[in-house]
Amino acid sequence: MSAATGKKAVLQLDGKEIELPIYSGTLGPDVIDVKDVLASGHFTFDPGFMATAACESKITFIDGDKGVLLHRGYPIDQLATQADYLETCYLLLNGELPNAEQKAEFDAKVRNHTMVHDQVSRFFNGFRRDAHPMAIMVGVVGALSAFYHNGLDIEDVNHREITAIRLIAKIPTLAAWSYKYTVGQPFIYPRNDLGYAENFLHMMFATPADRDYKVNPVLARAMDRIFTLHADHEQNASTSTVRLAGSTGANPYACISAGISALWGPAHGGANEAVLKMLDEIGSVENVAEFMEKVKRKEVKLMGFGHRVYKNFDPRAKVMKETCDEVLAALGINDPQLQLAMELERIALNDPYFVERKLYPNVDFYSGIILKAIGIPTGMFTVIFALARTVGWISHWLEMHSGPYKIGRPRQLYTGSTQRDIKR
C-alpha cells in the first residue's frame, strides 16, 4: 500500500477541514483512510461494510465489473485447469506456485496429517443421527484445539504453519465422516496413496464391504476443480469472520469453526443447495418456461444465476460448466432434475431478458448439478464449500498474524433510548 501521489480527500466538518490520506493498492480502487474522523468525535456509517476496506491483503483480488478473480495474481480459470487444488493451496499460503520439489514436499505433508486423533471420532456419537452435517463440522473442528493444544502459540510461525497443514489435511476426513455418521455407515479412514479429492470421495462412498471401490477419475477431477474454484473469495462474510475472531488472539481451530458458522448462512454458502431446492419446486421440464416468466414478473427468485459481486459474469462458471458437461457425459445420467437444470440454462443464455441483465449461470448453479450427479446429498453441499474454503480462511489468518494487527471493533449508530432512571 502506498499513498496515492497528489491525492487527498478533504472532509468539511463543523466548519473545519480534515485531510484524509488516500492510498493505492496494486489493483482496484484507491481507499480513503478515515481513522482521523474519530478524533473529531464522529464515526463513518457503512452498513454491511460495502465501502470499507478493513484490512490490507495480498492474497485475492476481485473486479466484479470485469469478471476478474485472481489468486496471488493468477486468474482462477488458469488455476482450475492448469493446477490442482493442493498447488492452489500452496499458492494461497506462500504467494507462489510450487516447483516440482516443493509440490512433492507439500503434498506429502498434507497426506501425513489426514488422520485425526481416535478420540475425535467419539465426538460424533454426541450428535443425533439426523443432525445437519454443518452442525457437526462446527463442533468437531472447534474441538480440534483440544487435541493439538501443544501447537497453539499463534506467535510461533512454526505452530501457525503446521496448524494450516493440519486443517487442510483433516477437514476432508471430518467432512466425509459427518456424512457417514448421518447415514449410519462406518467411518472410512483416509488413504495416503490417493490424491486429495480422490481420497475425499473414497471416504465418502467406500464401505468396508467393498474393498475394491475405486473413484471415477472424472469425478475426482471434477471435485478437485470444485475445491479450487471455491478456495478463496477475498473479504467475504466468512473470511471476515475468521479475521475478526483471529484479531482477538483466538486459536485457529476456533477461528475456522467461526468461519464455518458464517458460511452456513443461506445467503453465503447455501447458494448451491438453494439451486437444488428451486429445481424441486419447478418440478419438471414442462414447467420451466412458466417459471422463467414468473422470474421476469419478479414473482419468484432465480437461484444460481447472476452474482452479488460479479456484475458481468462469474469467471469460475465457464470452467464449472465444462466440468459439469464432463461429469454428466461420464456418468450417462438420465435424471429429470438435471434435464430441468439444463433447460433453465438454455433459456437464461438465450432469452434477451436474462442476457441484457447479465443473469448468467454462476458457479453455484453448476456445482450444485455436479454434486448431485456425483451422489452427494444437498445437506453436504455447504460442508464441501467449507472444506474447499478452509485454505482461504487459514491463509488470511496467517497473513493477519504475520504482521501488526488490531482487534476488530466496529462501531454503531445508536438509535435507542437516551439515559433514563428507574422510577418505582
User: Per DSSP, what are the bridge partners of residue 8?
Assistant: 21
- 28, three cell numbers: 482496484
Q: Same domain, yes or no, for 349 and 324?
A: yes
Q: Residue 97 above 60 pLDDT?
A: yes
Give the model confidence (pLDDT) of 292-312 as tens digits: 999 999 998 888 887 777 777
Rounded CA separation 31/28 (Å): 9
Helix (H/G/I), strand (E/B), else coil: 17? strand
CA angle 188, 159, 108 (to 5 degrees): 45
Rounded CA separation 377/44 (Å): 44
Strands (E), 25-173: 31-32, 60-63, 68-71, 74-75
Residue 35: which CATH number? 2.20.28.60
- 381, three cell numbers: 453441499
- Which pLDDT value is given to residue 325? 86
Catalytic residue among 224, 232, 314, 364: 364
User: Per DSSP, what are the bridge partners of residue 69?
Assistant: 62
Rounded CA separation 387/382 (Å): 9
Single pTM value for the model: 0.91
Model confidence at 327, pLDDT cuts 50, 70, 90, reads very high
Q: Same domain, yes or no, for 279 and 373?
A: yes
Q: In what order do the strands lie in the sheet with 2-13?
A: 2-13, 16-24, 31-32
Q: Same domain, yes or no, for 176 and 39?
A: no
Q: Same domain, yes or no, for 398 and 274?
A: yes
Rounded CA separation 197/110 (Å): 12
* Mean pLDDT value across the chain: 91
Q: In the annotation, is 364 catalytic? A: yes
Any domain includes 20: yes
Q: Where do we find the cell 478452509?
A: 390
Model confidence at 270, pLDDT cuts 50, 70, 90, reads confident
Residue 134: which CATH number? 1.10.580.10
Average pLDDT over residues 258-276: 85
Model confidence at 4, pLDDT cuts 50, 70, 90, reads low
Higher pLDDT, 310 or 417: 417
Q: Same domain, yes or no, for 202 and 142?
A: yes
Q: Same domain, yes or no, for 27 and 125?
A: no
Which domain, by its residues, includes 19? 2-52
Helix (H/G/I), strand (E/B), else coil: 418? coil
Q: Which amino acid is at 348?
A: A
- Which pLDDT value is given to residue 183? 95
Rounded CA separation 82/88 (Å): 10
Any domain includes 423: no
- Which pLDDT value is given to residue 1? 54
Any domain includes 413: no
Which helix (DSSP H) or strand (DSSP E) does residue 198 occupy?
helix 196-205
Give the model confidence (pLDDT) of 125-138 as tens digits: 999 999 999 999 99
CB 3 within 8 A of CB 21: yes
Distances (CA, A) of 171 to 115, 252, 364, 402: 10, 13, 21, 23
Q: Same domain, yes or no, for 144 and 180?
A: yes
- Which pLDDT value is given to residue 314? 81
Any domain includes 104: yes
Model confidence at 5, pLDDT cuts 50, 70, 90, reads low
- Which pLDDT value is given to residue 6? 65
Rounded CA separation 255/405 (Å): 16
State the CB neighbour count (10 A cutoff) for residue 251: 21
Q: Where do we find the cell 483471529?
A: 246
Any domain includes 339: yes
Distances (CA, A) of 344 to 238, 288, 372: 30, 7, 16
- Which pLDDT value is given to residue 3? 55
Any domain includes 58: no
Q: Same domain, yes or no, for 10 and 104?
A: no
Any domain includes 416: no
Q: Same domain, yes or no, for 104 and 16?
A: no
Rounded CA separation 143/197 (Å): 24
Give the model confidence (pLDDT) of 62-76 as tens digits: 998 888 999 999 999
Rounded CA separation 144/137 (Å): 11
Catalytic residue among 71, 113, 307, 396: 307
Helix (H/G/I), strand (E/B), else coil: 127? coil
Any domain includes 57: no
- Which pLDDT value is given to residue 375? 92
Q: Same domain, yes or no, for 217 and 362?
A: yes
Backbone angles phi, psi at 18, to 5 degrees: -115, 120
Q: Same domain, yes or no, for 8 and 155?
A: no
Q: In what order do the strands lie in the sheet with 60-63?
A: 60-63, 68-71, 74-75
Spacing of C-alpha 344 from chain mean position: 25
Q: Same domain, yes or no, for 124 and 175?
A: yes
Helix (H/G/I), strand (E/B), else coil: 297? coil
By percentage, how much of the chain surpasses pLDDT 70?
99
Give the model confidence (pLDDT) of 143-200 as tens digits: 999 998 888 899 999 999 999 999 999 999 999 999 999 999 999 999 999 999 999 9
Q: How many domains does the chain have?
A: 2
Of 315, 314, 401, the C-alpha closest to 93 is 401
Q: In the annotation, is 280 catalytic? A: no
